[in-house]
Amino acid sequence: MTVTGNSSVGTPILTQAGLEGFREDGFTIVRGLFGYDEIDRLCAEFRALHAAGPVPGYFAPRPGPDPLHTHPRVMQPHEINGLALRVLLDARLGSVLETLLGEEVLAAQSMFYFKPPGARGQALHQDNFYLRVEPGTCVAAWVACDVIDRDNGGLEVVPGTHRMDLFCPEEADEGVSFAREYVPPPPGLAAVPVDLLPGDVLFFNGSLVHGSQPNGTADRFRRSFIGHYVGRSAERIGAYYRTVSMSGDRVVLAESEGAGPCGTEFAPHGPH
In a domain, 250, yes or no: yes
**Cβ within 8 Å of residue 37, ≥6 positions away:** none
In a domain, 73, yes or no: yes
In a domain, 270, yes or no: no
Residue 146 and residue 221 in contact, taking contact as beta carbons nearer than 8 Å: yes
| pTM assigned to the model | 0.94
pLDDT of 266? 87
In a domain, 12, yes or no: yes
In a domain, 271, yes or no: no
pLDDT of 239? 94
Give the chain's end-to-end CA distance (angstroms, integer).
35
70: number of Cβ within 10 Å: 15
In a domain, 18, yes or no: yes
Is 90 exceeded by the pLDDT of residue 268? no
* CATH number of the domain that residue 71 is part of: 2.60.120.620
In a domain, 261, yes or no: no
Q: pLDDT by residue (tens digit) across 197-234?
A: 999 999 999 999 999 999 999 999 999 999 999 999 99
How many separate domains does the chain show? Answer: 1
Average pLDDT over residues 104-109: 98
pLDDT of 6? 57
Q: pLDDT by residue (tens digit) across 136-194?
A: 999 999 999 999 999 999 999 999 999 999 999 999 999 999 999 999 999 999 999 99
* Structural domain boundaries, residue 163: 2-54+61-255
Q: pLDDT by residue (tens digit) across 59-68?
A: 999 999 999 9
